[in-house]
């Protein structure tokens, strides 16, 4: 008889229904797999063979044919081991239970243990949208699965356990679904902006950046605490909503980085790929397409320490995602799109020796050396970084100061308020923050008084601003005005915004 078992595969973050069809006939013993299955699926055949044997069942010495349908979609990974094994058992009459409407996912080890797989959360979200409610999955994946409210989860540790469950011998208890609630006893992040000593200007710039969704570049000598400041960004960003948390978790599920978590990503990601990172590791891709660092940073922060050290091609690869909030990666015959909406934070020295602009140490670089160093970050990329701020060395008096500084929680409350103003302003514009504004939004929401125009005109002439720099200044000024609950952009807001630029 033909057995049809339901499973799912992923393209990017969306799940596709896959039907595993097993047919067993008399004939020379064989085990053929057809239906665009990649090598991993073919390897599944060997694992399934051993797992069935080691679960006290038999592989029929007949002609076994397996078809993965539909043929048109790419099927990768090891999630089909379990449905394949169940299909063989059913088709050979060793299991008579009804499996209609149940989705099976899981990798088998040779001894019949069910091993965790990647991408369970996005698969289940798609499957529940398709109307499926019952899922048999590896025990290790139950936490992420439990956040899909519509799903009935039956987690299993072995193939034998699944067989006993289906045949009614030993039903697996349904795993309790979880709700997304923030624990009030445990702090979300292990750092806090109150731990940063001094740095009033940089902290203010950071709050402006996060408030308006602006990318930020810290320019300062080594040891001035640029990394520490960057690490504080997630702590002052608004808390992740459930929708954002799910979206972020989907990516981390596909990347296989959910282990040791409680199944859902609750904190805004902070990713800091080293400057030797390859473009593929940053953007995603590879033989088995996986999300890259910029997608792992989705809804959080991508921190590039010592930005000029990254290769030109790596930095250029960021431009499109910074514009679109998504990244499309291609392989031979298909493409995959992952979300990549992150806040970019970069850091760099002011010059090759690091001392340019320091009051205490002399800079030994020539003007042309400094220019060459700065030119490593291209103009078009800099154009996407609205705020560029100089980070000074911390003064000794500030270092030993016992003065209480604001906590991240306090700053976050203000950020939330400023974000709400923007949400309301842009409710019909399909954008969220001031940094997303295009020219038409600037015209609509950033009317400038003649005084403001005058200040900009002077800056334009004396600082040699580009037209793009002008737009950036106005966007940042809009954010500063929002922070002060001012409907109109004032001269003071423009002046502060002008101060946040190094080039």
Residues near Zn ion, by CB under 5 A: 351, 353, 355-356, 363, 365
- At its nearest, how many Å lie between Zn ion and the CB of residue 274? 24
Q: How many CB atoms are closer than 10 A to CB 421?
A: 18
- At its nearest, how many Å lie between Zn ion and the CB of residue 366? 9
Tokens of 360: 């205490």
- At its nearest, how many Å lie between Zn ion and the CB of residue 370? 7
Placement of tokens 């099976």 in the chain:
104
Contacts 24+ apart (CB under 8 A), 165-168: 165/136, 166/86, 166/95, 166/97, 166/99, 167/95, 167/96, 167/97, 168/97
> Considering beta carbons, is residue 218 or 356 the nearer one to Zn ion?
356
Number of H helices, E strands in the chain: 21, 18
Distance CA 51, CA 21 (A): 19
- At its nearest, how many Å lie between Zn ion and the CB of residue 229? 21
> Considering beta carbons, is residue 306 or 398 the nearer one to Zn ion?
306
> Considering beta carbons, is residue 147 or 356 the nearer one to Zn ion?
356
Alpha carbon 324 to chain centroid distance?
14
> Considering beta carbons, is residue 62 or 374 the nearer one to Zn ion?
374
- Tell me which residue of 445, 473, 317 sits closest to 380, measured CA to CA: 317
Given CA atoms 472, 445, 339, 241 in this order, what sign does their dihedral have? positive
> Considering beta carbons, is residue 28 or 367 the nearer one to Zn ion?
367
> Considering beta carbons, is residue 141 or 355 the nearer one to Zn ion?
355
Tokens of 421: 């103003």
Find all residues with CB under 8 Å of 65, minimum gap 6, and list them.
22, 23, 24, 25, 32, 34
- At its nearest, how many Å lie between Zn ion and the CB of residue 390? 14
> Considering beta carbons, is residue 15 or 354 the nearer one to Zn ion?
354
- Tell me which residue of 250, 240, 289 sits closest to 145, measured CA to CA: 250
> Considering beta carbons, is residue 80 or 356 the nearer one to Zn ion?
356
- Three-state SS at 152: strand
> Considering beta carbons, is residue 355 or 388 the nearer one to Zn ion?
355
Distance CA 33, CA 18 (A): 14
- At its nearest, how many Å lie between Zn ion and the CB of residue 398? 24
> Considering beta carbons, is residue 115 or 376 the nearer one to Zn ion?
376
Distance CA 327, CA 431 (A): 18
- Residue 266 contacts residue 246 (beta carbons within 8 Å): no
Beta partners for residue 232, in sequence order = none
> Considering beta carbons, is residue 285 or 354 the nearer one to Zn ion?
354
- At its nearest, how many Å lie between Zn ion and the CB of residue 309? 16
CA angle at residue 243 from 156 to 149, to 5 degrees?
Answer: 35
- At its nearest, how many Å lie between Zn ion and the CB of residue 464? 22
Could you write out the DSSP letters of every residue in 452-468?
HHHHHHHHHHHHT--HH
Helix or strand (DSSP H, E) at 113: none
CA angle at residue 178 from 176 to 179, to 5 degrees?
Answer: 150
- At its nearest, how many Å lie between Zn ion and the CB of residue 375? 15
- At its nearest, how many Å lie between Zn ion and the CB of residue 393? 14
Distance CA 107, CA 348 (A): 45
> Considering beta carbons, is residue 282 or 353 the nearer one to Zn ion?
353
- At its nearest, how many Å lie between Zn ion and the CB of residue 486? 39
Scored b (16 or more CB within 10 A) or e, 43-61 reads ebbebbbebbebbebebbe
- At its nearest, how many Å lie between Zn ion and the CB of residue 325? 36
């Amino acid at each position: 008889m033909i057995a049809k078992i339901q499973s799912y595969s992923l393209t990017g973050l969306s799940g596709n229904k896959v039907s595993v069809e097993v047919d067993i006939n008399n004939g020379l013993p064989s085990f053929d797999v057809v239906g665009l299955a990649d090598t991993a699926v073919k390897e599944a055949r060997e694992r399934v063979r051993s797992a069935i044997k080691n679960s006290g069942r038999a592989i029929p010495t007949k002609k076994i044919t397996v078809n993965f349908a539909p043929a048109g979609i790419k099927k990768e990974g090891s999630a089909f081991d379990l449905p394949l094994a169940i299909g063989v058992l059913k088709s050979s009459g060793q299991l008579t239970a009804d499996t209609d409407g149940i989705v099976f996912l899981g990798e088998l080890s040779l001894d019949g243990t069910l091993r965790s797989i990647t991408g369970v959360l996005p698969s289940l979200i798609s499957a529940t949208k398709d109307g499926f409610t019952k899922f048999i999955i590896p025990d290790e994946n139950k936490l992420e699965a439990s956040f899909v409210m519509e799903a009935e989860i039956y987690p299993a540790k072995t193939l034998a356990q699944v067989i006993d469950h289906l045949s009614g011998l030993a039903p697996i208890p349904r795993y309790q679904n979880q709700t997304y609630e923030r624990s009030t006893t445990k702090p979300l992040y292990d750092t806090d902006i109150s731990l940063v000593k001094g740095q009033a200007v940089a902290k203010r710039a950071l709050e402006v950046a996060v408030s308006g969704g602006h990318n930020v570049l810290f320019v300062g000598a080594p040891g001035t605490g640029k990394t520490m400041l960057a690490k504080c960004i997630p702590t002052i960003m608004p808390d992740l909503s459930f929708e954002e948390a799910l979206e972020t978790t989907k990516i981390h599920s596909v990347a296989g980085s959910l282990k040791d978590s409680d199944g859902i990503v609750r904190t805004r990601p902070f990713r800091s790929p080293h400057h030797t990172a390859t473009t593929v590791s940053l953007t995603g891709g590879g033989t088995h397409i996986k999300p890259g660092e910029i997608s792992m940073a989705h809804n959080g922060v991508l921190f590039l320490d010592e930005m000029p050290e990254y290769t030109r091609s790596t930095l250029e690869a960021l431009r499109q995602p910074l514009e679109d909030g998504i990244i499309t990666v291609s392989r031979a015959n298909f493409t995959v799109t992952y979300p990549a909406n992150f806040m970019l934070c970069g850091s760099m020295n002011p010059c090759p020796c690091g001392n340019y602009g320091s009051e205490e140490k002399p800079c030994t670089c020539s003007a042309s050396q400094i220019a060459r160093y700065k030119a490593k970050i291209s103009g078009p990329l800099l154009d996407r970084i609205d705020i560029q701020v100089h980070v000074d060395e911390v003064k000794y008096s500030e270092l030993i100061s016992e003065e209480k500084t604001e906590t991240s929680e306090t700053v976050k409350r203000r950020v939330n308020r400023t974000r709400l103003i923007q949400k309301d302003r842009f409710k019909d514009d399909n954008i969220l923050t001031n940094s997303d504004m295009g020219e038409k939004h600037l015209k609509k929401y950033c009317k400038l008084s003649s005084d403001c125009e005058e200040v900009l005109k002077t800056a334009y002439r004396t600082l040699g601003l580009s037209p793009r720099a002008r737009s950036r200044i106005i966007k940042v000024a809009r954010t500063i005005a929002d922070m002060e609950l001012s409907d109109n952009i004032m001269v003071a807001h423009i002046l502060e915004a002008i101060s946040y630029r190094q080039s």
